[in-house]
Amino acid sequence: MLDTTTLTSAADRFADRLRAAPQSRLQRGAAAEALSLARELSARTQAIEEPGTEPREMPDAGMFAAADQVTVAARDLALVLTDPGELAEAVGLVAEAQQRAGV
């Protein structure tokens, strides 16, 4: 079993920073960056669980839900990952999104 703590911890840190960010920062793009990350993580999960099918897009639940969407998507992916390379990629995606979001 693959230890995915690095992914869930990185996602939790990003989500915590989003929750602490002022509304103005969320409006300037941090929430959109978080939603984009959540959608990417969700698509990767679906590709593993249902190969060959078109992934469903995670809906935009609003800027105040973006942190929760990142957390849920990361935990879903953590449950299905078996490849250390894919885990490292996912952790990198979270780090890059956090940097672009500026939180």
Per-residue pLDDT of the chain (103 residues; tens, 9 = 90+): 899 999 999 999 999 999 999 999 999 999 999 999 999 999 999 999 999 999 999 999 999 999 999 999 999 999 999 999 999 999 999 999 999 999 9
What does the alpha-carbon distance between residue 15 and residue 43 come to, in Å, rounded to a whole number? 19
What pLDDT is attached to residue 38? 98
DSSP state for residue 26 in the 8-state scheme: I
pTM of the model: 0.95
- Domain range for 42 is 5-101
- Total structural domains in the chain? 1
Helices (H), 1-103: 5-20, 23-25, 31-49, 66-80, 84-101
Three-state DSSP state, 56:
coil
Which pLDDT does position 1 carry in this prediction?
A: 84
pLDDT at 72: 98
